[in-house]
Structure 1
Amino acid sequence: MTPWITPLLLTCLICMGPTQAEFFTSIGQMTDLIYAEKDLVQSLKAYIQEEESKLAKIKSWAEMMESLTIKSTSDPEGYLAHPVNAYKLVKRLNTEWLKLENLVLEDATKGFIANLTIQRQFFPNEEDETGAAKALMRLQDTYKLDPETISRGEFPGTKYRSVLTVEDCFGMGKTAYNDGDYYHTVLWMEQALKQHDRGDEATITKVEILDYLSYAVFQLGDIHRAMELTRRLISLDPSHERAGSNMQYFEKLLENEKEEKAFSETSNTTEPTTYSGIYERPQDYLPEREIYEGLCRGEGVKMTPRRQKRLFCRYHSGNRNPHLLIAPFKEEDEWDSPHIVRYYDVLSDEEIEKIKELAKPKLARATVRDPKTGVLTVANYRVSKSSWLEEEDDLVVAKVNRRMEHITGLTVKTAELLQVANYGMGGQYEPHFDFSRVILNKIFLGDVVVIIFGMMQ
């Protein structure tokens, strides 16, 4: 592991135990879902085995009785003339058929249902599913991946491969639609339709997909294509009431568009916008988005060979700190201006595991301070969980703090607590200041100026 050390702050990736919400904000927490699902599968297999065993007994009984009844019905009086047969017939109908009835009515689902009920309280909720879908879209945008690539599970750098079904793609599109995000709605509904058209197995109908797709395309301003998609919908379901109404509305809009175009030609005004089925991603509130997403893709500022020659690896002794003279830290220059360095082998594997163990029960959704109210709140631009460890929690925390002091030459007495963070699926913290900004409020009291220092994250 290569920890990234900044003055008075250590960030580690950790695993965490189950809580009741926001699984998508923590990969560590999502790993617990893997084991929960494994437990459910084992419980389900036990139920199936029990059902199969019960059915085997019933089948054996049925085969035996079929053979017996063939013989008895071929000569009922001759069969009953044997006193043992008469006794066994009475016994079967009075006792053994009752046992069979009880066997058939026996509920083999009790164990599985009980386990499922217990586990369900730790399952992800609607917010988690929405958050996970948005995380996939965030990765899609950041790394410029098309829906087909994602659907095939072709993520660069991943070990395993998993594909999206028609229902999965439809669910992605529906999540975007419910959020008013028609750009991603179109991308994912088109992918769902594409997979449906090529024969992928699906329970979602083309009519359902086209219903969302045509409206989302219309919302992006492409009336011609919205009308084309609506025509296809109506050809599949002529009685679709909403599609019929939309068709009339689109025709009216197109008629108005023709009139405006005729007017613009006589007035030499600008031509109306045309579309080719490809729509641009809408601009959002963050001016730095293109820059920081480019950096995520490895684009942007490049180190020149001349500057690269000024970067070195060395042993760091903290300005001849007595504690580091015998065991200095490995230090590597990452960047020259501003000067950024990386330290290696700062923590042992045992210390890392202990910190993860301490942080696990304390993990909570990371918050930001609302600039208007000053209240800490969660935000979509910070998707992670974090916890804070004090020296009183364990000796390892105190040891790590001392180590930070030796490396930085600073003191933890005026620093934040040791922070442990775990980023979830598509986790991020958009561009921000990683230090508290000082607010200076000047209060004039006669000839005296009082400066109040306030801290804002």
Structure 2
Amino acid sequence: MFLSLRVMCYTMILNICSSTDTDFFAATAELEYLLDTRARTIDDLDIYIDNEEKKLSVVKKLHTLYREGHEKAKEDIVNYSENPINAFIIIKQLTIDLCHLRDIIKTGTELINQITTNRDDVNYPTLQDVKGASQALIRLQKLYKLDVQQLARGNLNGFENGISMTASDLYTLGHVLYNAWDFYNARNWFIEAFRKYDKEDIPYKFDKRNIFEDIVASCYLGNRKNATQWIKRIFVSKLKMNETMKIVVSYLRKNIRSKGKQDLLDISELTEDNKKLLMPSDAQLRDKLFAAICRGESNSSIKMDGRLKCRYLSENHSFLKIAPIKMELIHLNPDIVLCYDVIGDEEIKTLQQMARPILKRTPVRGRYGESRISDFRISKAAEFNDTTSETIARISRCVSHMTGLSVETAEPLQIINYGIGGHFRQHYDCIVQPNCTKNCPVRIATVLFYMSDVAQGGATVFIKLGLTVRPVKRAALFWHNLLPSGELDPSTMHGACPVLQGSKWVSNKWIGQSGQELIKPCSLEDQKRVDTHT
């Protein structure tokens, strides 16, 4: 009905799209590779500008955007790469904007083809990365209720990155929401694009009329009353409307003449069955609760218990007699423990160096044990067995000392880097499904090592407990996933909040139930929980 992301010269970007799926958006650690790509692009543009003076009016403006962003990045590469706004901009600059540049200079020299074609010595993102970065930024905006105007100015919840979004950036984000049928939020991004359009004076693949149409369309499909003010602006501006927009405007003018709340649904007129259809599902309620806890808005009240304490753990292994572990019991029933300084900076550096070259998108498991890639989890991971290196083996020994459990049947150590707005929605670590036919590990316990601090976001939250645990570098979080009866403990549902600012590195060790029979024997009382602090 309405133009959906208006092609935006996507058909011109086949060279970029044909490359191997890199998923740069899924791990912040890999975004630094794109700085080299952008640096090469800047050099190529310098040469091109020297040779093609007649075509500089547009090229210079894009060149300026690239250079300003890159100079800003060089001031602090780490913080620059960890900012989701910067990540979105650099990915879009190296895909859609490069395509636009190529379209403008069709009669250019061979150099322009080199700029927009993949090279062996640099990495180019794909349109999948544009989509992933866009969705990540939108996810952060919606979950943390960030102001769109502030994001457009480069202000990420108080963090100023100095780079404002262009009208094209905002228009792209609006269409990502529009295509996802989120018309209310799409309208906000389109409005910001409209405000920026006249100030920039850059010839894009869209014009002011297109933005008008998309704003009205978003209002029409979302809340029709909001469309009236934009219809008036269309008539005042005397912009030429296409036939589809004329039909929409005619309909709105006839049906939305200050009729108050006529578009609102009258619940009293619905049947009981239809009312049930309008009620949010359990999954939607969990999503809302997850978002609220991540924002710090949870209404769950955790009663202070005198048994919650900090102490030195020294009893699980003789080694702990001379090197006790600092531990804090942060929740009772189920017991959740945070152990401090259990992994060193050099070990963290080693693990990151081992993982970086082989990071791959982290899959999720379905109810039958099948593995698949999903937006449910945005991160990349690498796995290592104990025999890989002494560092990995030493960490496994630490897990055994810390938990008092055997790691003989534990899964490989998984090292994870979360991507732009990286998250892992609420889930259980243990799969206890009678229909599960393959890859169905029964994980009695989880140990989660925090390998970095995170400036904003990235907390581990237990949604049924209302508990939030913020990453503390060098610390490890430990809990049991099963009741002593061997059944799943439903209170251990947890998730990783989206990373708002920073880079989140973690590693986890899932401990199998097998081999623990004599260490943690099953109890006949299903509801009796594991006592990990005595």
TM-score range, shorter chain: 0.5 to 0.7
1:296 pairs with 2:289: no
Helix, strand or coil at the partner of 2:400: helix
Identify the residue that residue 206 of structure 1 maps to in structure 2: 208
Identify the residue that residue 310 of structure 2 maps to in structure 1: 313
Identify the residue that residue 100 of structure 2 maps to in structure 1: none
Per-residue deviation at 1:430?
Answer: 0.8
Helix, strand or coil at the partner of 2:421: strand
1:380, 1:231 → 2: CA distance?
Answer: 39
Q: Is contact 2:216-2:227 (8 Å) kept?
A: yes
Identify the residue that residue 440 of structure 2 maps to in structure 1: 455
Question: Residues 125-204 of structure 1: matches in 2 within 5 Å?
Answer: 125-156=126-157, 158=159, 160-196=161-197, 199=199, 201-203=201-203, 204=206
Helix, strand or coil at the partner of 1:392: coil
Matching residue's letter, 1:133: S
RMSD of aligned Cα (Å): 3.7
Matching residue's letter, 1:351: E
Per-residue deviation at 1:159?
Answer: 6.5
Per-residue deviation at 1:349?
Answer: 1.9
1:320, 1:139 → 2: CA distance?
Answer: 41
Per-residue deviation at 1:388?
Answer: 1.1
Matching residue's letter, 1:368: V
Per-residue deviation at 1:339?
Answer: 2.4
1:230, 1:291 → 2: CA distance?
Answer: 38
Runs of 4+ aligned structure 1 residues displaced above 4 Å come to 42-52, 107-112, 251-255, 269-272, 282-285
The count of residues paired between Structure 1 and Structure 2 equals 352
Match of 2:360 among 354, 358, 364: 364
Matching residue's letter, 1:422: N
1:455, 1:31 → 2: CA distance?
Answer: 36
Per-residue deviation at 1:127?
Answer: 1.5
1:110, 1:454 → 2: CA distance?
Answer: 50
Question: Residues 410-429 of structure 1: matches in 2 within 5 Å?
Answer: 410-429=405-424
TM-score by length of structure 1 reads: 0.67
TM-score by length of structure 2 reads: 0.58
Larger Rg: 1
Helix, strand or coil at the partner of 1:183: helix
Which structure's residues are more often helix, by fraction?
A: 1
Helix, strand or coil at the partner of 1:382: coil
Matching residue's letter, 1:208: N
Q: Is contact 2:228-2:256 (8 Å) kept?
A: no
Matching residue's letter, 2:313: H
1:114, 1:136 → 2: CA distance?
Answer: 27
2:378, 2:158 → 1: CA distance?
Answer: 21
Identify the residue that residue 340 of structure 2 maps to in structure 1: 344
Per-residue deviation at 1:46?
Answer: 6.4
Helix, strand or coil at the partner of 1:388: strand
Question: Residues 388-403 of structure 1: matches in 2 within 5 Å?
Answer: 388-403=383-398
Per-residue deviation at 1:215?
Answer: 0.9
2:116, 2:133 → 1: CA distance?
Answer: 25
Question: Residues 96-111 of structure 1: matches in 2 within 5 Å?
Answer: none
Per-residue deviation at 1:323?
Answer: 1.6
Helix, strand or coil at the partner of 2:192: helix
1:436 pairs with 2:431: yes
1:157, 1:252 → 2: CA distance?
Answer: 44
Identify the residue that residue 104 of structure 1 maps to in structure 2: none
Identify the residue that residue 463 of structure 2 maps to in structure 1: none
Identify the residue that residue 246 of structure 1 maps to in structure 2: 248
